Structure 1
Amino acid sequence: MMHLRVSFNVLYILSMCLGFLCVMFVCLWSGTWRGGFAWDGSFLQFNWHPVLMVTSLVVLYGNAVLLYRVPLPWSKWWRKVAHAGLLLVAVVLCLLGVSAAFDFHSANNIPHLYSLHSWTGIVTVALFTLQWSVGLGAFLLPWTPLAFKSFLKPIHVWMGMAIFILGLISSLSGINEKLLLTLVGGNGSNTEPYNALPAEALFANSLGILVAMFGLVVLKILFSKEWNNTEFEQESDRPLLADAR
């Protein structure tokens, strides 16, 4: 048991460090390499998009789904509230990130939703919003029938993992698409082409590696049954407010 706990602690601390690095790298990329931030329909507004999407769909989402694995002295009620609260922050941030991209496209007469990245991204955001809304009604409202909660639980867990994986795919494809569109080189351009691997390309590619590593560590923790908190696996008809005490 001690070996399992040490292994979990190492992986969990690693996930926290990787998540911090993901946020730091995407902020530096947008804030330094891409010129900063604004909310005026310009390229500076679009810079919010990668920051908000990586922070919400990858880092906050990953930490929210790990809450049921962390050995904290919290009741089931507090874990559910913390899980739903973190995901609510993630929902708000990712909707702001989508808005930043749509506003930028509209202001610059760029078509919406034409790339594979945008398709996977909008599907991920839609599923995430639906998942959070259904989860709130099913698992936090006291009048939800136990039979419905028990039926929905495995679907909710599977969908949670699927949305996280889709978030990773959308983030990685978005990083690559942004580099392909901005590092074009050529006459009149102040950037080197992507295939010349300028410093910005190396930095953004490193961000992609960090995102992938964070995702792999989170999925390793989630798929390791020895780290399950079995007392939280089954739903009961006991009022959640009673568990809060």
Structure 2
Amino acid sequence: MSPSGSFWVGSVPCLSLGLLCLLGVSFWRAHWHRGFSWDGSALQFNWHPVLMVAGLVVLYGYAVLVFRAPFTWRQKKLTWKLVHAGLLLLALLLSVLGLCAVFDNHRSLNIPNMYSLHSWVGLCTVIMFAFQWLLGLSGFLLPCSPLWFRSNLKPVHIWMGKAILILSLASCISGINELLFFTLNGSSGDPYNSLPVEAKFANSLGLLIVAFVLVVFGILSNDNWQRPETVHESVPLMLNENST
């Protein structure tokens, strides 16, 4: 099978799992926790898990696979750099909005912030994500970026991208577990250790997120889907323009 054909076979589970993660987290907060609002109440908090899964995991995972699609290899790399950067910026904005949702909810209800490991890992992930995006912008999209800087930045950029995805996974599954402990053990219904329907659903959602991230890493690890580099593409944009 050609690289293009095998890529699409591998990408279908990735696309499907990402959509299932979004649908799953939205259904969880809508069905068991009464939906969404932006009024400082618990309904505003419901935006937090939805936006974090959408931004930090699903959209981020799709964005890091942009250069792996063989149909993009014959097209200008700059175009797909802009697509990659745009998707990541949207993912970052959704993540920041997700943080705003939880901080505003905590402030309205006088709930302390940043006391759990989930909170620390999540905030560090978003900060690292923002730094990574700015670093990528300065290194790979600005025409004044020197070649030596790009060359040295590339392995760091790749490592940070994978690290952010791992931290995002850790943040999401720890957040799901934390929410289940708080809501189920503090309610009058069945406790978490009796594994009620909500717990089964949310635990399954966590497994879906794990599966999505594993598929993304599987695609990233396949050398057959690595975009071939050319000398022309490795030269900064300003030099390319001056040479034409």
TM tier, smaller: over 0.9
Shift of residue 72, structure 1, vs aligned partner: 2.2
Distance (whole Å) between structure 2 residues aligned to residue 232 and residue 36 of structure 1? 50
What SS does the aligned partner of 1:41 have? coil
CA shift for structure 1 position 4 = 4.8
Match of 2:200 among 199, 202, 212: 202
Number of aligned residue pairs: give it: 238
When the two chains are superposed, the root-mean-square deviation of aligned CA atoms in Å is 1.8
Query: In structure 2, what is the equivalent of residue 85 of structure 1?
Result: 86
- TM alignment of 1:183-222, pairs within 5 A: 183-184=184-185, 189-222=187-220
Tell me, yes or no, if structure 1 residue 96 matches structure 2 residue 97. yes
Question: Which one-letter code corresponds to 1:227 in the other structure?
Answer: W
1:54 partner amino acid? V
2: CA distance between counterparts of 1:239 and 1:168? 38
**Are 2:54 and 1:67 aligned?**
no
What is the DSSP-based 3-state SS (H/G/I as helix, E as strand, rest coil) of the residue aligned with 1:151? helix
| Mapped contact 2:32–2:198 kept (Cα < 8 A) | yes
1:68·1:232 contact (CA, 8 Å) conserved in 2?
Answer: no
Shift in Å at residue 104 of structure 1? 1.1
Give CA-to-partner distance per residue, 1:39-91, whole Å, 9 cap, x none: 11111110000000000000000000000101224320111000000001001
Partners in 1 of 2:7 and 2:230 — Cα distance? 18
1:239 deviation in Å?
4.0
Is 1:175 the equivalent of 2:173? no
Q: Which runs of 5+ in 1 are unaligned?
A: none
Aligned to 2:34: 35
What is the identity, as a one-letter code, of the residue corresponding to 1:50?
Answer: P
Q: Equivalent residue for 1:237?
A: 236
Secondary structure at 1:230 match in 2: coil
Measure, in 1, the Cα distance between the counterparts of 2:2 and 2:142. 38
Deviation of 1:100 (Å): 0.6
Aligned equivalents of 1:113 and 1:120: distance in 2?
Answer: 10
